[in-house]
Chains A and B, each alone.
Chain A
Amino acid sequence: MIPLSWYLMLAAGLFSIGLFGVLVRRNAIAILLGIELMLNAVNVNLAAFWRYGDVKNMAGQVFAIIVFAVAAAEVAVGLALVISVYRRRNTVAADELDMLKW
């Protein structure tokens, strides 16, 4: 039987890798990829806690479903934003989008 801690470690690893992507990638689309990794890590956690807790209580899976929905929404809006920004500024590099400073 697989211990719960394995799943949680996998999720923590995925989350950290995703966070690294979000923090350091210059390309805005790559940042969104990182966010997807982080959301997946959360979903692994939710599913694992459902399985290792009371399986009759479907809250874990329901939350995972809702995370799917939110992720879909986030990707749709995020990519729309990226494309819109690209049209105007002809770049998708996050560190060039600094109009709001100073």
Chain B
Amino acid sequence: MTIAQIIFLIVAAGTLASAVIVVTTPNLVHAALWLVSTLFGVAVVFALLNAGFLAVVQVVVYIGAIAILFIFAVMLTRREQRDFGQQMNRFWWLGALVAVATFAGLAAMLQSWSGLSGAAAADLPIGFDSVGALGDALISPQAFVLPFEVASVLLLAALVGAVYVAFNRK
């Protein structure tokens, strides 16, 4: 067990536990806060993967924006949604079954995949700047500039759509 492995196990356990609380807690504000915890765990995992930029974006965008948005939404609709009472529908056992089956299926497939056992992460090349490389890739015509631009159009469309849908017509 290296230190990195120990850190990973702790972080992973925390992340999964937070995730379980997210989907089971009856209090939605708590759920959103536990989501922050989960997302933070994922950010640590990104850092462990040497994906520094993703880790930062995870903290800034997900925790800073999306999670806060959730909390706002919860508060806007909270008057009706009580914290007590049934939070899960009648088919929760079936849903649990499906979720377990999904996990089992994925695990089984991973077990039978030959590429899994031999894979070991190579060390990063000396002087490799993953943030710079990512920036190049995003705006290089040889790489991903088009998906990047399309993503920006998508964001704009989502912005307009969200304003339109949520606009309170009186």
Contact = CB atoms under 8 A, between A and B. Distances in A.
- Which bracket fits the contact residues of A? 35 or more
B69 A75 contact: yes
Given A23-B99, A24-B95, A43-B42, A34 B23 contact: yes
A86 B116 contact: no
Contact of A1 (B28, B102, B106, B121): B121
Pick from A2, A50, A94 the residue with the most CB of B within 10 Å. Answer: A2
A97 interface: no
A46 B110 CA distance: 15
Interface string B82-98: 00001111011011101
Interface residues of B, number: 89
A30 B8 contact: no
A48 B151 CA distance: 22
Contacts of A13: 16, 19, 103
Contacts of A86: 76-77, 80
Contacts, number: 254
A74 to B, nearest CB: 8
A29 B74 contact: yes
Nearest to A54: B122
B168 to A, nearest CB: 7
Contact of A2 (B8, B23, B66): B8
A52 B121 contact: yes
Nearest to B20: A17
A8 B110 contact: yes
B151 A66 contact: yes
Contacts of B32: 33
Interface string A11-24: 01111111111011
Interface of B: 2, 4-5, 8, 12, 15-16, 19-20, 22-23, 28, 31-32, 35, 38-39, 42, 45-46, 48-51, 53-54, 57-58, 61-62, 65-66, 69-70, 73-74, 76-77, 80-81, 86-89, 91-92, 94-96, 98-100, 102-103, 106-107, 110, 116-117, 119-122, 124-125, 128, 130, 133-134, 136-138, 143-144, 147-148, 151-152, 154-155, 157-159, 161-163, 165-166, 168
Given A40-B42, A62-B138, 18 more contacts: A9-B107, A9-B110, A13-B19, A15-B106, A17-B20, A24-B88, A25-B23, A26-B89, A27-B28, A34-B23, A47-B46, A48-B49, A62-B144, A66-B151, A68-B61, A79-B69, A82-B73, A92-B80
